[in-house]
């Protein structure tokens, strides 16, 4: 999130459940970051380096992705996880084993032994919350070594950067939600073009806007207040020779310095 980049985007049909979307997403990220496990039985120094890098990556998963198969698949690939479990019935059953509940905001947390053998050590806990006069339970697990359940729950609650950094900003700044295509492939193309624009803006931000008065600008303000500024580009022999911006714009002088830096 610090780089404002997106690693991968895809469009699935509305009837496809989230639990089936995780593995394709992970494989795509592995391709982008050169993290894919080696194929076959031989192990090279490069394979070991990739395995070490995967061990430093934490996947934070909502309950829609946290099936036993998905978690086991991630752990087999040597990733770290902090995830909400997929099964509500399992959570209710495990709640009967909790001997002590620790307050956590408007809920309570309780430690339990993980009933699934993932081949790696995992910490599992439950959250109990009173909803309309009845207790509702959910369970969570992690491979991270955290000193307390409250810290583990707080770490899980730190997820969601993508929803804020990409989805909301792209809907507002790049008008993704205002554009709709009837055809599936047309809508997919629109999403991929928006993704490309998002990453071009991320590159522009880090190249031209860091440590400037515009460093706090997100995609919406960047597009609305800066990139729609009136001006002229003077090109000669295929090269940009001069940038002119409207003098009456309050950001013109400082933004011109940013453009010069970028070019």
Q: What is the pLDDT averaged over residues 32-50? A: 85
CB 130 within 8 A of CB 84: no
Q: Which of 49-53, 80-84, 150-154, 180-184 has the lowest mean pLDDT?
A: 180-184
Render pLDDT for 66-75 as a digit per residue (tens, 0 to 9). Answer: 999 999 999 9
Question: Residue 248 and residue 18: Cα distance in Å, rounded?
Answer: 50
Residue 194 has pLDDT above 90, yes or no: no
Q: Sign (positive/negative) of CA torsion 64, 182, 194, 169? A: negative
Q: How confident is the model at residue 101 (pLDDT cuts 50, 70, 90)?
A: very high
Q: What pLDDT is attached to residue 39?
A: 79
In a domain, 47, yes or no: no
- Tell me, yes or no, whether 39 lies in a domain: no
- Residues 15-25 have pLDDT tens digits of 899 999 999 99
- Decide which of 40 and 139 is more confident: 139
Question: What pLDDT score does 100 carry?
Answer: 95
In a domain, 247, yes or no: yes
Is the domain of 209 the same as that of 243? Answer: yes
* Confidence at residue 144, expressed as pLDDT on a 0 to 100 scale: 96
Q: What is the pLDDT at residue 161? A: 57
Decide which of 178 and 121 is more confident. 121
Both 196 and 150 in one domain: the answer is no
Residue 19 inside a domain? The answer is no
Distance (Å, whole) CA 214 – CA 251: 9
Asked if the structure places residue 153 within a domain, the reply is: yes
Q: Are residues 124 and 62 in the same domain?
A: yes
Q: Do 148 and 82 belong to one domain?
A: yes
Q: Does residue 14 lie in a domain region? A: no
In angstroms, the CA 205 to CA 221 distance is: 12
- Which residues, other chains included, contact 95 with Cβ-Cβ below 8 Å and sequence gap of 6+? 110, 126, 128, 135, 137
Same-domain pairing of 75 and 140: yes
The answer to whether residues 200 and 148 belong to one domain is no
Shared domain check, 257 and 219: yes
Collapsed DSSP state (helix, strand, coil) of residue 35: coil
174 falls in which pLDDT band (50, 70, 90)?
A: confident
Residue 160's pLDDT band (cuts 50, 70, 90): low
* pLDDT for residue 202 is more than 80: yes
215 in a domain, yes or no?
A: yes
Same domain for 197 and 131? no
Of 98, 129, 159, the one marking the end of a domain is: 159
In this structure, the answer to whether residues 152 and 209 fall within a common structural domain is: no
Which residues lie closer than 8 Å to 1 by C-beta, 6 or more apart? 161, 162, 165
Q: Do 149 and 64 have their domain in common?
A: yes
Q: Are residues 97 and 136 in the same domain?
A: yes
- Residue 90 in any domain: the answer is yes
Expressed as residue numbers, the domain containing 240 is 181-262
pLDDT class of 109 with cuts at 50, 70, 90:
very high
When divided into structural domains, the chain yields a total of 2
Tokens of 220: 């919406």
pLDDT of residue 3: 73
Strand partners, 128: 108, 137
Residues 76 and 150 in one domain: yes
């Amino acid at each position: 999130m610090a780089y404002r980049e997106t690693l991968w985007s895809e469009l699935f049909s509305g009837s496809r459940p989230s639990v089936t979307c995780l593995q394709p997403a992970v494989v795509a990220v592995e391709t982008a970051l050169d993290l894919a496990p080696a194929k076959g039985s031989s192990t090279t120094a490069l394979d070991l380096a990739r395995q070490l890098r995967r061990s430093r990556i934490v996947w934070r998963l909502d309950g829609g992705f946290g099936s036993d198969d998905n978690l086991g698949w991630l752990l087999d690939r040597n990733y770290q996880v902090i995830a909400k479990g997929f099964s509500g019935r399992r959570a209710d059953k495990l709640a009967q084993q909790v001997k002590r509940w620790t307050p956590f905001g408007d809920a309570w947390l309780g430690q339990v032994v993980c009933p699934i053998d993932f081949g790696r050590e995992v910490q599992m806990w439950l959250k109990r919350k009173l909803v309309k006069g009845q207790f509702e339970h959910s369970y969570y697990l992690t491979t991270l070594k955290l000193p307390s359940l409250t810290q583990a729950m707080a770490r899980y609650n730190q997820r969601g950067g993508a929803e804020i950094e990409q989805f909301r900003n792209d809907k507002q700044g790049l008008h993704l939600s205002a554009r709709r295509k009837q055809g599936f492939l047309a809508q997919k193309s629109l999403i991929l073009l928006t993704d490309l624009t998002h990453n071009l803006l991320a590159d522009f931000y880090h190249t031209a806007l860091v440590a400037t008065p515009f460093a706090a600008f997100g995609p919406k303000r960047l597009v609305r207040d800066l990139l729609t500024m009136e001006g002229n580009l003077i090109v000669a022999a295929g090269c940009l020779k001069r940038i002119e911006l409207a003098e009456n714009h309050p950001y013109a002088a400082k933004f011109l310095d940013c453009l010069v830096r970028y070019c």
